[in-house]
Chains A and B, each alone.
Chain A
């Protein structure tokens, strides 16, 4: 690393102007977790945005709005987050890394780094989270899922992610992760959500799997399979198998594609079971 300058940005405007001024040779830093893992050699300036006023967490109606520099542990323990979707997001944060890393790492960092093995993108995609960012011209927003389908790294070389907005869902979510030991990244993970209509049929379903070892993806075919059906063990089982058939799965040094394919039905079924129980418990 050839870092020459370290700036503290007082607000988003300053962070953005500094970032633009560096013309690709600057990088934003919040928790610094990924910076510590190594930066591209051309980066000369670091722009610290932890004091830029982006760490808030608030509820807007049923929605949850989380600032880009809110720490993962701050999110995990936040009363607002615990009150959102039965504490689902708080539970997800509990699966991420270790306490000491969660005290550093931020939600914005997790979204922008978008590590394929990460847990947070899986959860955010399932939740239909929306990212909000500021660039030279305007404030823009897009669902995280859609963002990942675009060249998002290029976007954030010239923009500051400011917040993540999480919609309200009438239903419940559950998260499942398989890893080697405590604090480890996922060998595979999934997040599933369900809502029921008045007749007890599935009104909507959200299913995302990640760390396959590719970045999280939503499995729309599985969601469609579930919609309109009456919850049952057989249905969860079927959805799990469909998920394994739909998901893009590969080998890496942590686990084989074969194993991932064998366990995706299990974790999807388990997540749906838990989400289903939570929804029906609500009624």
Chain B
């Protein structure tokens, strides 16, 4: 392997300086003359029919430009989920509907000259509701006689609307009953994940306006600019060609910006008023009316032989998708498809479940995408199985986890809302990850020792996980690279850097391939008018999918450069190589700088722009792997849990930019610790969010971050760009189960419900089973 000059090096983040110096890079950092403010009227009821809506008083208020509601917009069913094609989520949403289905649902929207006027206008809209019985409990959603949430006739793609089932799955491998009857040891456990919110620093925000050619421009904080264009076109009945979506820098998304939350409304208001319309959600609206992780109850049953070989796995999922089925099927599928292959030794598998509608906040994509919920249950169950077998949980995992060269039938059985595709694991350093993590946490020294420090009792726990790298045969990334006459390059990608650093990663891939430093590549992402297509930043796809597209485009550009240089140097392209911004003859050592190549192509001989585009569709989705180790201390008198140390060791193939990869892993771990210890959206008896702010809903702060060690164990993924796989999501799958298992090691309390609050931990410690 040739020595790499850019890949694997912590180069400066290409957008670091503008971000750090506060340049106007975000969606709302620009002011458009004449911009109006858009605001949404949210439903106060969990389930109600709008009997009458009177907007006349609001419309008469000076400064109000328009009021939109179900009575004055076209009725077109669509999904707010920004996914590929065919869209796997049901078309169960409308711009505005005659019915509201959760507290926070859209009733109407106003455009006005100022925020104050818009707020006042919302108050002046008179709505008469006929309140309907509501489904506030996922368990009861499918019961006979339960209120039907989606009774509209024009919705499409709902699995069973009459029973409030948005999506369902049932996958069998082998014979599950036989599997359990042949097992020597069986454990069964049910774990619950509550409503949690992404809490991106920048809430959803958008500016929509008509340009000089009367085309609709949507400048928005999104992970999926091309899906925004397609979905808004559908929702508003516009030709796609009339819409341009601009994605500037994004202040975090974690999945919530894989949704069309405000773009459709802002666009409708801009079209109606013919004025630019600015919309942004408040933090409260983010909690109430954006998206959440799918709350789930996951039951896992494991059967194993005496020697610890897993023999049967059943996973039964009840997912709560809230009032709309966005990502309902695919998140549900991922609970199994991203977890079960990890333990590929079991010949008997039954994965089944459903995603049900409730009159509660709407769930959607959230980093980990179902795998996080699945791993919480699976990895707690593995810990219980290890105990029952009398085997160290670390050894049990080593005995059962997938290795390079192996496969799992699940890959073929479960895909993106449809059947999957067989896949062999080509790179896997999980075993090394486990061993390295164990060493760093002090697994053998600390486990089972219950070291005491005053009231604090220490314990260690672990979990392992995998994810994917993009969506097989569905995702697509494209890139265009053009050479400037001074020998530098412009890289245009539809890929969506939402703060992950992917623009830098893609620039590194181009730079390495073209033999230039990263500084010679200027990256632009993304604008549906000017950058090539990309499905967007989700499913851990950008480095692998868009990265491969950049690699292919860069290779084409390299060929072009060699051809031109061959004319200058008088040597065949095969004798030439690209090195340090020059084309050099391997035979004579003579070279020509890129600037001369660019200038010649642009102005002198055989004139052409050296430019190339390439697309990449992933034929497989190589999983990154990770091992997680937590050392916790539990205050046995109060139930407080402190994470003393956390070790995350991951195999993401070749880390293109180790520092950024570590940042992804560390950030995901911190987010996972938040899930484990404090985050939970509390709901009122009427279905409203009781803690829609960061005073009541706690997320980890810098002061809460424990001693976290993140380690990358490289592997070489042959299908990845320069051997790379993904790293964005896998890190969030481990903290909850690792911490739950560590608490068990410390105090003998099994926690099956997140978060592990002092209240819950102490009541576990005080339970008769533990006290004995």
Chain A residues with a Cβ under 8 A of chain B: 98, 178, 180-185, 187, 253-256, 258-259, 262-263, 266-267
Which residues from chain B contact A262 at a C-beta distance below 8 Å?
762, 766
A181 touches B698 (CB 8 A): yes
Q: In the complex, A259 Cα to B640 Cα: how many Å? A: 11
Secondary structure of the B contact surface, majority rule: loop
What separation, in Å, do the CA atoms of A256 and B637 have in the docked complex?
Answer: 16
Knowing A253-B682, A253-B690, A259-B639 are in contact, say whether A181-B701 is a contact too (CB < 8 A). yes
A263–B701 Cα gap in the complex (Å)?
Answer: 25
In B720-772, which residues have CB < 8 Å from any A CB? 757-759, 762-763, 766
| Nearest-Cβ distance from residue B598 to partner chain A, whole angstroms | 50
> Smallest CB-CB separation from B637: which chain A residue?
A266
- Whether the Cβ atoms of B701 and A255 lie closer than 8 Å is no
A256 cross-chain contacts in B, Cβ below 8 A? 759
User: Is A183's CB under 8 angstroms from B701's CB?
Assistant: yes
Given contact pairs A182-B701, A253-B690, A266-B638, enumerate 20 new A-B contacts (beta carbons under 8 Å).
A180-B677, A181-B678, A181-B700, A181-B701, A182-B704, A183-B703, A184-B698, A185-B695, A253-B682, A253-B691, A253-B696, A254-B696, A255-B758, A258-B759, A259-B639, A259-B758, A259-B762, A262-B766, A263-B638, A263-B758
Residues from chain B with a CB closer than 8 A to the CB of A253 are: 682, 690-691, 696
The reply to whether B678 and A263 form a contact with Cβ atoms under 8 Å apart is no
Which of B690, B758, B763 has the most A CB atoms < 10 Å from its CB?
B758
CB closest chain-B residue, reference A265: B637
B758 touching A178 by the CB < 8 A rule? yes
**Cα-based distance from A187 to B759 in the complex (angstroms):** 10
In the bound complex, how far is the Cα of B640 from the Cα of A266, in angstroms?
12
Q: How far is the CA of A242 from the CA of B695 in the complex (A)?
A: 32
In chain B, residues 660-702, which have Cβ atoms closer than 8 Å to a Cβ of chain A? 677-678, 682, 690-691, 695-696, 698, 700-701
A81 to B505, CA, bound (A): 52
Which of A178, A181, A184: most chain B Cβ within 10 A? A181
Write out the residue numbers on chain B whose beta carbons fall within 8 Å of the beta carbon of A255: 757-759
Query: In the complex, A152 Cα to B757 Cα: how many Å?
Result: 35
Check A263 against B762 for contact (C-beta < 8 Å): yes
Query: What distance in Å separates the Cβ of B133 from its nearest Cβ neighbour in chain A?
Result: 25
By the criterion CB–CB under 8 Å, are B701 and A178 in contact? no
Question: Would you list the 4 A-B pairs with minimal beta carbon distance, nearest first?
Answer: A182-B703, A259-B759, A266-B637, A180-B678
Question: How far is the CB of A212 from the nearest CB of chain B, in Å?
Answer: 14
Bound Cα distance A98, B699 (Å): 14
Identity of the chain B residue whose Cβ is nearest the Cβ of A263 in the assembled complex: B638
A178 in contact with B638 (CB, 8 Å): yes
Q: What is the CA–CA distance of A138 and B275 in the complex, to the nearest angstrom?
A: 58
Interface size on B, residues (CB 8 A): 23
Cα(A97)–Cα(B696), bound, Å? 13
Q: For residue B455, which residue of chain A has the nearest CB?
A: A266
CB-CB contacts of B527-554 with A at 8 A, as 1s and 0s?
A: 0000000000000000000000000000
Give the docked Cα–Cα distance between A185 and B758 (Å): 14
Of chain B, the residue at the smallest CB distance from A183 is: B701
Tell me the complex Cα distance, A182–B690, Å.
Answer: 21
* Nearest chain B residue, comparing its CB with the CB of A267: B638
Cα(A254)–Cα(B757), bound, Å: 9
Report A-chain residues with C-beta under 8 Å of the C-beta of B691: 253
Complexed CA–CA distance, A254 and B698 (Å): 10
Instruction: Give Cα A178–Cα B759 distance, bound, in whole angstroms.
Output: 11
Q: B701 contacts A180, CB within 8 Å?
A: no
Task: With A253-B682, A259-B639 as known contacts, state yes or no: A181 contacts B677, CB within 8 Å.
Answer: yes
**A contact residues around B637 at 8 Å (CB):** 263, 266
Give the distance to chain B from A263, nearest Cβ to Cβ, in Å.
5
- Give the nearest-CB partner of B673 in chain A: A181
What is the chain B residue whose CB lies nearest that of A97? B695
Separation of A182 and B704 alpha carbons in the complex (Å): 6
Residue with the greatest number of chain A CB neighbours at <10 A, chosen from B677, B678, B700, B759: B759
- Residue of B whose beta carbon sits closest to that of A254: B696
User: How far, in whole Å, are A255 and B704 apart by their CA atoms in the complex?
Assistant: 20
Question: Which residue of A has the minimal Cβ distance to B684?
Answer: A253
Please name all residues of chain B whose beta carbon is closer than 8 Å to the beta carbon of A181 when the two chains form the complex.
677-678, 698, 700-701, 703-704
A232 to chain B, nearest CB (A): 18
Say how far B669's CB is from chain A's closest CB, in angstroms: 15
Give the docked Cα–Cα distance between A182 and B640 (Å). 13
Q: Measured between alpha carbons, how far is A68 from B703 in the docked complex, in Å?
A: 29
How far does the alpha carbon of A182 sit from the alpha carbon of B678 in the complex, in Å? 11
Instruction: Let me know if A98 and B701 touch, CB within 8 A.
Output: yes
Minimal beta-carbon separation of A187 from chain B (angstroms): 7
Query: CA A9 – CA B759 in complex, angstroms?
Result: 47
**Which A residues lie within 8 Å of B698 (CB)?**
180-181, 184
Contacts of B677 in A (CB 8 A): 180-181
* Selected A-B contacts with CB under 8 Å, 21 pairs: A178-B640, A178-B758, A180-B677, A181-B701, A181-B703, A182-B701, A182-B704, A183-B703, A253-B682, A253-B691, A255-B757, A255-B759, A258-B759, A259-B639, A259-B759, A262-B766, A263-B637, A263-B758, A263-B762, A266-B455, A267-B638
| Distance to closest chain B CB from A128 (angstroms) | 28
Q: In the complex, A27 Cα to B357 Cα: how many Å?
A: 47
Residues of chain A with a CB closer than 8 A to B766's CB: 262
Is the Cβ of B757 less than 8 Å from the Cβ of A180? yes
Complex: how many Å from CA A72 to CA B207?
Answer: 40
In whole angstroms, how far apart are the Cα atoms of A243 and B460 in the complex? Answer: 35
CB-CB under 8 A from A258, the residues of chain B are 759, 763
List A contacts of B759 (CB < 8 A). 255-256, 258-259
How many angstroms between the C-alpha atoms of A120 and B161 in the bound complex? 54
B455 / chain A contacts, CB cutoff of 8 Å: 266
The CA-CA distance from A258 to B638 in the complex, in Å, is 12
Could you tell me which residues of chain B, from 696 to 724, have a CB within 8 Å of some CB in chain A?
696, 698, 700-701, 703-704
Give Cα A178 to B455, complex, Å.
14
* Nearest CB of chain A from residue B239's CB, rounded to whole Å: 44
Q: Complex: how many Å from CA A184 to CA B129?
A: 39
Please indicate the chain B residues that have their CB under 8 angstroms from the CB of A267 in the complex.
Answer: 638
For the complex, what is the distance from the CA of A181 to the CA of B679, rounded to whole Å? 11
Q: Which residues of B contact A185 (CB under 8 A)?
A: 695
Q: For chain B, residues 600 to 621, give those with C-beta under 8 angstroms from any C-beta of chain A.
A: none
Specify which chain A residues have a CB less than 8 angstroms from the CB of B638 in the assembled complex: 178, 263, 266-267
Min CB distance B18 to A, Å, is: 25
CA distance A255 to B639 in the complex (A): 12
Contact: B678 with A259, CB < 8 Å?
Answer: no
Question: A255 — nearest CB in chain B belongs to which residue?
Answer: B759
A262 to B691, CA, bound (A): 25
CA distance A132 to B128 in the complex (A): 52
Cα A197 to Cα B758 with chains together (Å): 38
Chain B residues in 8 Å Cβ range of A263: 637-639, 758, 762
Chain A residues in 8 Å Cβ range of B758 = 178, 180, 187, 255, 259, 263
Distance in angstroms between the alpha carbons of A182 and B705 in the assembled complex:
10
Q: B313: shortest Cβ distance to chain A, in Å?
A: 35
Separation of A183 and B696 alpha carbons in the complex (Å)? 11
* CB neighbours of A184 from chain B (8 A): 698
- A226 to B695: give the CA distance in the assembly, Å: 37
Q: What is the CA–CA distance of A263 and B762 in the complex, to the nearest angstrom?
A: 9
Contacts of A187 in B (CB 8 A): 758
Q: How far is the CA of A263 from the CA of B698 in the complex (A)?
A: 21
> In the assembly, what is the distance between CA of A82 and CA of B682, in Å?
40
Q: 1/0 per residue B517-532: CB within 8 Å of A? A: 0000000000000000
Question: With A181-B677, A181-B678, A187-B758 as given contacts, are A259 and B763 in contact (CB-CB < 8 Å)?
Answer: yes
Which A residues are CB-close (under 8 A) to B682? 253
B residues in contact with A182, CB < 8 Å = 701, 703-704
Most buried by B among A185, A256, A258, A263: A263
A262, closest chain B residue (CB)? B762
Complex CA gap A178/B677 in Å reads 14
Contacts of A98 in B (CB 8 A): 701, 703
Bound-state Cα–Cα, A245 to B690, Å: 30
Q: How far is the CA of A187 from the CA of B760 in the complex (A)?
A: 14
Interchain nearest-CB distance for A252 vs B (Å): 10
Determine the chain A residues whose CB is within 8 A of the CB of B695 once the complex forms.
185
Q: How far does the alpha carbon of A255 sit from the alpha carbon of B701 in the complex, in Å?
A: 21
